[in-house]
């Protein structure tokens, strides 16, 4: 059974710092991996989706990488801002692409201090 | 942009009541999902649907049912609400097997 781990559970950084959030998964036979942001009491907002054949995806200050063989993905946030404070979750979809095979990590709570 | 709309942000119900949570998406997505999110337990899949009138149980379907009569609408039904169903409920939709888009969530309290 796929397991997705996000460490650390919480992270606090000063404004302007570049940072990396980690996501690891136990079964490398994946279809794709998606990163989300969640603000307190709100739904999840999709940030980036990486297909299993891709190595990275970029959107603005965000860059997500995928290393299937090692079971790892990272979300790089450049020049962090207080508005980036939120919980970041990754979700892995299994190789069949089935919705049943979507597994979420428990998230990293990021605080960017002004 | 895809819009997934959940009918209520906050809902307070009594034990034993029948509760309907509604979700509508505007992008003609085949797949729709209901999750619940609890502190320390993360997101757990309740039910999902891959087409009109089609549904499949997720990891925690007990105490819930769903209805998908039209492609854009997916309803979650709590047949007889209980206090352990107090939770944040999140609806999502996607075009198979691409990006998942979530609604803003419904915080349900069962008293």
pLDDT digits (tens, 9 = 90+) for A34-72: 999 999 989 999 999 999 999 999 999 999 999 999 999
pLDDT at residue A97, as a whole number: 64
Using CA atoms, how far residue A86 sits from A41, A50, B10, B76, B92, in Å, is 11, 21, 21, 27, 19
Q: Which residues of A touch B48 (CB under 8 A)?
A: 99-100
Strand order in the sheet with A72-77: A4-5, A19-25, A72-77, A62-67, A56-59
Comparing C-alpha atoms, which of A103, A36, A43, A107 is closest to residue B107?
A43
Could you give the dihedral angle defined by the CA atoms of residues B102, A85, B88 and B9, in that order, rounded to the nearest 10 degrees?
A: -70
pLDDT at residue B97, as a whole number: 73
Comparing C-alpha atoms, which of B11, B29, A97, A22 is closest to residue B21?
B11
Beta bridge pairs of residue B49: B32
pLDDT at residue A1, as a whole number: 83
Q: What angle do CA B82, B8, B60 make, to 5 degrees?
A: 40
Q: Is B47 on the interface with A (CB under 8 A)?
A: no
The tens place of each residue's pLDDT in chain B, 111 residues long, gives: 679 999 899 999 999 999 999 999 999 999 999 999 998 888 999 999 999 989 999 999 999 999 999 999 999 999 999 999 999 999 999 987 788 999 999 999 999
In chain B, which residue's Cα lies nearest the Cα of A30?
A: B97
E strands, chain A, where? 4-5, 10-14, 19-25, 30-38, 44-51, 56-59, 62-67, 72-77, 86-94, 102-104, 108-113
pLDDT digits (tens, 9 = 90+) for A73-102: 999 999 999 999 999 999 999 887 666 678
In chain B, which residue's Cα lies nearest the Cα of A37?
A: B102
In chain A, which residue's Cα lies nearest the Cα of B103?
A: A43
pLDDT at residue A99, as a whole number: 64
Q: How far is A9 from chain B (nearest CA, A)?
A: 11
Residue B97 or A13, more confident: A13
Q: Residue B46 in contact with residue B58, Cβ under 8 Å?
A: yes
**Candidates B60, B97, B102, partner chain A, best to mutate (most A CBs within 10 A):** B97
Q: What residues contact A71, with CB distance under 8 A and at least 6 apart?
A: A24, A25, A26, A27, A28
3-state secondary structure of B75: strand
Q: How far is B58 from chain A (nearest CA, A)?
A: 7
Nearest to A42 among B43, B50, B104 (CB): B104
Any idea how long chain A is? 114
């Amino acid at each position: 059974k796929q397991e997705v781990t996000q460490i650390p559970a919480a992270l606090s950084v000063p404004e302007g710092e570049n940072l990396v959030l980690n996501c690891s998964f136990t079964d490398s036979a994946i279809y794709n991996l998606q990163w989300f942001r969640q603000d307190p009491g709100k739904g999840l907002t999709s940030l980036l989706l990486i297909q299993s054949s891709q190595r990275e995806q970029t959107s603005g200050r965000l860059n997500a990488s995928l290393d299937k063989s090692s079971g790892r993905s990272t979300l790089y946030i450049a020049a962090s801002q207080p508005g980036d404070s939120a919980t970041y979750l990754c979700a892995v979809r299994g190789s069949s692409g089935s919705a049943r095979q979507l597994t979420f990590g428990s998230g990293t709570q990021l605080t960017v201090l002004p | 942009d895809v819009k997934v709309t959940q009918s209520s942000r906050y809902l307070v119900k009594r034990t034993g009541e029948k509760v309907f949570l509604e979700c509508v998406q505007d992008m003609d997505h085949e797949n729709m999902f209901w999750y619940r999110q609890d502190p320390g337990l993360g997101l757990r899949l309740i039910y999902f649907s891959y087409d009109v009138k089609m549904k499949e149980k997720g990891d925690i379907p007990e105490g819930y049912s769903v209805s998908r009569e039209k492609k854009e609408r997916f309803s979650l039904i709590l047949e007889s609400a209980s206090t352990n169903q107090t939770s944040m409920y999140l609806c999502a939709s996607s075009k198979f097997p691409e990006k998942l888009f979530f609604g803003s969530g419904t915080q349900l309290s069962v008293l």
